[in-house]
Amino acid sequence: MSFDEEKLKEFLQANDSIKFIRLQWIDFSGVLRARFVPVARCLRIASGSEDVRLAQNSMLIPISTAPRIFSLSDYHETWYLRPDWSSLRLCGFKAGHAAVMSFVDQKDAETRFDKCPRMLLVQAVEQLEQKWGTKVLVGFEIEFVLLDESNNVVKPMDRLNGYSRTAGLRAETLDLVEEIVDALEKSSINIHHFHAEVQDQLEIALAPESPFEAIDSLVMAQEAIRTICVRRNIKATMTPKPTLAGPSNGLHLHLSLSKPEEVAANDFLAGVLSHMGSLCAFGMANYDSYVRSAGDAAGAWVGFGTDNRDLPVRKIGDCHWEFRMMDSTANPYLFVAVVLLAGLDGLKKETELAWKDCKFFPHLMDNEWRIEYGMDKRMPGTLKETLNHLKGDAAVKTWMMAEDLLKWYVSVKDKEVEEFEKIPDEQRRLRFLEYF
């Protein structure tokens, strides 16, 4: 019996009510995709006697043009889904269902899995653990807004009305969140806390885990939130710009390193800050993401500060940071991978931390004062701007398993810029609500 088949059989013996397993992956547009597969076929897949082929559009569908794709190849490619059976967990929001996250494997690629974001994360984590002897813990803060069937903000009598207030969490909204948390517990997902973020916005923070477990938990949590809300005729949206005038949604990444003497936290942080313009192309990964290039969101200036939420990096401890330049349009495997790879770049090059720990409001600082803290560069203000940073960043190209991963990713994002700049704000908002 193969190891994969053994893992699956052990899971099914412990959960004999499972009828379907969702074979899931996330494409370059940050969209969760799935095949719902009966258990009997999953056993054949796990044994190696059957493959799961994917359509050519499995990774390469721009949201602006879906279902049309824009492949860089002039022939139809063959892609396979390779489930990581160690990621199996119950769908706590749907009885009889489980889910497994998967690698994507292009049959004719020069290097196997060379366009797979999950595999890139494998390589980044291995480099940190094997070369630098450090472990990584990751957690996410999920911000979302509740909309009605007309895509307007839900306005119950008990309305969400400000940061960490109990207003909005005294009646049916609290019942809704408790149902979500119960579902997460059934999926073996622990939460750190939940609270009202700002008016009309909720946040659920997940407990820290290893990178793969944390991202798998994030994916399941997002799907639980959406599914449970839909059953109540509510749309839970995580899109960066859920309304034209309301709050923006982020998806903040908490990342911490263990502290062997070999790891210089400042070098790691310097690597991330040095490549901030490029990293935004992966974390703030679509056209409306840049509504968050402002204070109390992703920040307007490149820099960091202890407990400073007006910058892209909030320092929490010597080896613990919150990276705020992320939202739900990101492929989380890809974004966490490039953050780690940027940090590794800083470690290898012993990059000097040219930024000072800023505990002030950047918008109240004059130019001379900001420069004293190393904050002489603005955060990208558009997707096009951050893509230009990425295209000119020679170091990023060396991080990838193969040149094609970056080339194909950028091709999808270039198409988003080309198409979305033609579309009016409200039409674009509605388009993103279909996905996030």
| Domain boundary assignment for the chain | 3-108, 124-433
What's the pLDDT band for 259 if we cut at 50, 70, 90? confident
pLDDT digits (tens, 9 = 90+) for 180-205: 999 999 999 999 999 989 889 999 99
What's the pLDDT band for 107 if we cut at 50, 70, 90? confident
For the chain, percent of residues with pLDDT exceeding 70: 96
Judge contact between 397 and 403, C-beta under 8 A.
Answer: yes
pLDDT digits (tens, 9 = 90+) for 316-351: 998 999 999 999 999 999 999 999 999 999 999 999
What's the pLDDT band for 419 if we cut at 50, 70, 90? very high
What does the pLDDT read at residue 113? 82
What does the pLDDT read at residue 261? 65
For the segment(s) 3-108, the CATH number from 3.30.70.360, 3.80.10.10, 3.10.20.70, 3.40.30.10 is 3.10.20.70
pLDDT at position 21 over 60: yes
CATH top-level class of 124-433: alpha beta
pLDDT at position 288 over 90: yes
pLDDT at position 283 over 80: yes
pTM for this prediction:
0.94
What's the pLDDT band for 145 if we cut at 50, 70, 90? very high
Q: Angle CA(104)–CA(323)–CA(306) in degrees, nearest 5?
A: 160
